[in-house]
Chain A
Amino acid sequence: MAKTVLDFERPIVELEKKIDEMKTVMQDLEISDEIDALEAKIEELRRSVYSNLTRWQKVQLARHPDRPYTLDYLGKVFTDFTELHGDRHFGDDKAIVGGFAQLEGRTVMVIGHQKGRDTKSNLYRNFGMANPEGYRKALRMMKLAAKFGKPVITLIDTPGAYPGLEAEERGQAEAIARNLFEMAQLPVPIVVVIIGEGASGGALGIGVGDRILMLENTWYSVIAPESCSSILWRSWEFKEQAAEALRLTAPDLLEQGIIDRIVPEPMGGAHRNPSEAAMLLKTVLVEEITQLSKMKPEPLVKQRIRKFSAMGKVSE
């Protein structure tokens, strides 16, 4: 059962608790009909709650502290993960992890943001906010993958690139820009998956690829709704409106032609059943990597640049 319960999850969680209580006394009493009825009710409630989430509620699901993170997927979707460390210049950023792993017998490079689950691990991971050396480490690993002709899979889950003093000193902007430039030309397939939060340049810094996917309950935009609210409304209070205005959910981005595909999550979100979420992701990744691996480097790169060139809407 989830440790953290969001407001809109509460009625469902309470019904579930009730069923659990009833089940413990079931041996003695004839109440299985009642339980069946309750379970049907939960199912209905789930369907109505999760098919009517507002954009802000989806942002909350994307940030759910029980949601699977990159290392969880690395344990469930892939095998033989061998973590590699460091950017070879400054240090090893713990907010981005990566290394070779196997996806159904095929060696791939997996790189992703990593958040922590409690205060201690969040401090260690810097809340999934990378410094320049994180982006440089990611690029180093991508080039390693390219050297050996292995596809790259990136998993995005960040509230943004770290806006700190040292990050500026070490060139946060240059690090992100360099990744965009280099990823555009990387001669191996790149599949990008938003697994949680996709905030701005910090997300895009490992987000240029041939296929861009979003898990069902994630968001991806130019700015977080709270920051958008504070700038445009001059108050932190308009985050719901900002989330609506930014149109930042997976269906929104599919409609905008920015992502290629939505990866389904278990009913109620990936945190309700991480193993099932991993299996759903695995199926999609195997499909995509198999498809892309048929392409030669040159047409692959050309198609990737054409894909990003088509993004945007103008009138002349």
Chain B
Amino acid sequence: MAWFKRSNSSITPSASKREVPDGSWVKCESCGEMMHLKQLQAACYTCIHCDASFRINSREYFSFLLDQGSFSEHDRKMRSTDPLKFTDTKRYADRIKATIDKTEMYDAVRTGMGKIDGRQVSVAMMDFGFIGGSMGSVVGEKISRAIDRAIKNRCALIIISMSGGARMMEGAFSLMQMAKTSARLSQLHAAGLPYISLMLDPTTGGVTASFAMLGDFNIAEPKALIGFAGPRVIKQTIGRDLPEGFQRAEFLLEKGFLDLIVPRKEMHKTISKILRMLDE
């Protein structure tokens, strides 16, 4: 399922379902214009009228980032065991099952090996559609294994983040995934291998405060919301409205936490160039 990013929202970007009236025509909710699905795909899932980036899943992202047919998925069926037997208004076990049925994903990240202009990469991308792209034991373990595969194959690691943060329903286990993934990244660093962290809208909480901020290259898409605390919490804390553009990619670049802001249509080219330059 594809998700659309409301680019004109000032504080909380809320995803709304893309309208597909007859299956092949899509409406951009940013400018209201229609386009054919093929046109949208050809534009890397950005609006052909206003350039707004649609919120897309890992399959869609890999379709323009990786060489065609190069992706081989690992650990696809790894799933949560509900280690705390967690229940809020719903049982976590039921929530997982319903989400698996809906998304055809087993948890919130897809990992594997792929190629970018012939260069091998270990890649991971979070899926916001799976419980807000939240990180529990499965996300932590799959990311850790993706790091290990980069070390084993002596290739670059690319992690594409899109997440509300650590998953509450796995309590302290989720918190520890921050330490686990960061510790494994320190091993990748020691091995002298590159790590490109790509942050999409939104990347917040424990994901930002662990692997997402640790890239050798921190890259974001334009206007992506990136932060530690969510805008609502900050607003509550300080008791006033947040300035325009706060926690957006452009703001983070200005404050020194991003290397590059790259429009989606340029992403493949930019990452390919970085990998090539590190190789030559």
Separation of A170 and B227 alpha carbons in the complex (Å) = 11
Q: Say which residue of A171, A201, A221, A232 sits within 8 Å of B256 (CB atoms).
A: A171
Q: Say which residue of B138, B176, B190 sits within 8 Å of A311 (CB atoms).
A: B176
Query: Are B88 and A245 touching (Cβ within 8 A)?
Result: yes
Q: Say which residue of A161, A162, A232 sits within 8 Å of B89 (CB atoms).
A: A232
Instruction: Type the 1/0 row for A106-117, where 1 means its CB is closer than 8 Å to any CB of B.
Output: 000000000000
Contacts of A252 in B (CB 8 A): 172
Interface residue ranges of B167-191 to A (CB < 8 Å): 167-168, 170-180, 182-187, 189-190
Q: Counting CB contacts under 8 A, is B83 at the interface? A: yes
Q: Counting CB contacts under 8 A, is A49 at the interface? A: no
Separation of A170 and B180 alpha carbons in the complex (Å) = 24
Separation of A161 and B233 alpha carbons in the complex (Å) = 12
Separation of A252 and B205 alpha carbons in the complex (Å) = 24
- Min Cβ gap B26→A in Å is 31
Query: Are B174 and A163 touching (Cβ within 8 A)?
Result: no
Q: Counting CB contacts under 8 A, is A314 at the interface? A: yes
Once A177-B208, A208-B179, A222-B172 are accepted as A-B contacts, the answer to whether A314 and B237 lie under 8 Å apart by CB is: no
Interface residue ranges of A214-254 to B (CB < 8 Å): 220-223, 228, 231-233, 238, 241-242, 245-248, 252-253
Query: Are B237 and A163 touching (Cβ within 8 A)?
Result: yes
Most buried by A among B140, B173, B176, B205: B176
**Closest chain B residue, CB of each to CB of A312:** B137
Interface residue ranges of B202-257 to A (CB < 8 Å): 205-206, 208-214, 226-229, 233-234, 237-238, 242, 246-247, 255-257
Interface residue ranges of A197-220 to B (CB < 8 Å): 200-201, 204-205, 207-208, 220
**Closest chain B residue, CB of each to CB of A169:** B255
Majority SS of interface residues in chain A?
Answer: helix
Separation of A163 and B239 alpha carbons in the complex (Å) = 12
Instruction: Type the 1/0 row for B88-100, where 1 means its CB is closer than 8 Å to any CB of A.
Output: 1100000000000
Separation of A311 and B83 alpha carbons in the complex (Å) = 11
Query: Are B182 and A200 touching (Cβ within 8 A)?
Result: no
Query: Are B141 and A221 touching (Cβ within 8 A)?
Result: no
Query: Are A163 and B257 touching (Cβ within 8 A)?
Result: no
Contacts of B182 in A (CB 8 A): 177, 180-181, 184, 208
Query: Are A177 and B214 touching (Cβ within 8 A)?
Result: yes
Interface residue ranges of B59-111 to A (CB < 8 Å): 75, 77-81, 83-84, 86-89
Separation of A315 and B81 alpha carbons in the complex (Å) = 6
Q: Counting CB contacts under 8 A, is B144 at the interface? A: yes
Query: Are B212 and A165 touching (Cβ within 8 A)?
Result: no
Q: Counting CB contacts under 8 A, is A167 at the interface? A: yes
Contacts of A33 in B (CB 8 A): none
Separation of A308 and B210 alpha carbons in the complex (Å) = 14
Once A204-B175, A232-B88, A232-B168 are accepted as A-B contacts, the answer to whether A315 and B206 lie under 8 Å apart by CB is: no
Once A180-B179, A200-B166, A228-B168 are accepted as A-B contacts, the answer to whether A315 and B238 lie under 8 Å apart by CB is: no
Contacts of A207 in B (CB 8 A): 179
Q: Say which residue of A221, A246, A304, A315 sits within 8 Å of B183 (CB atoms).
A: A304
Query: Are B168 and A176 touching (Cβ within 8 A)?
Result: no
Contacts of B210 in A (CB 8 A): 176-177, 180, 201
Interface residue ranges of A138-186 to B (CB < 8 Å): 161-165, 167-174, 176-178, 180-182, 184-185
Query: Are B186 and A248 touching (Cβ within 8 A)?
Result: no
Q: Say which residue of B78, B86, B172 sits within 8 Å of A258 (CB atoms).
A: B172
25 CB-based A-B contacts, threshold 8 Å: A163-B229, A163-B234, A167-B229, A170-B255, A172-B209, A173-B209, A176-B210, A177-B178, A177-B209, A177-B211, A181-B183, A182-B186, A200-B206, A208-B182, A245-B87, A246-B171, A247-B171, A256-B83, A309-B144, A311-B140, A312-B137, A312-B173, A313-B137, A314-B78, A315-B80
Beyond known contacts A204-B178, A222-B170: 19 more, CB 8 A cutoff = A161-B229, A163-B234, A168-B246, A171-B257, A173-B228, A174-B213, A181-B214, A184-B179, A185-B190, A204-B175, A204-B176, A241-B88, A247-B172, A308-B180, A311-B173, A311-B176, A313-B81, A314-B80, A316-B75
A residues near B (Cβ < 8 Å) are 161-165, 167-174, 176-178, 180-182, 184-185, 200-201, 204-205, 207-208, 220-223, 228, 231-233, 238, 241-242, 245-248, 252-253, 256, 258, 304-305, 308-309, 311-316
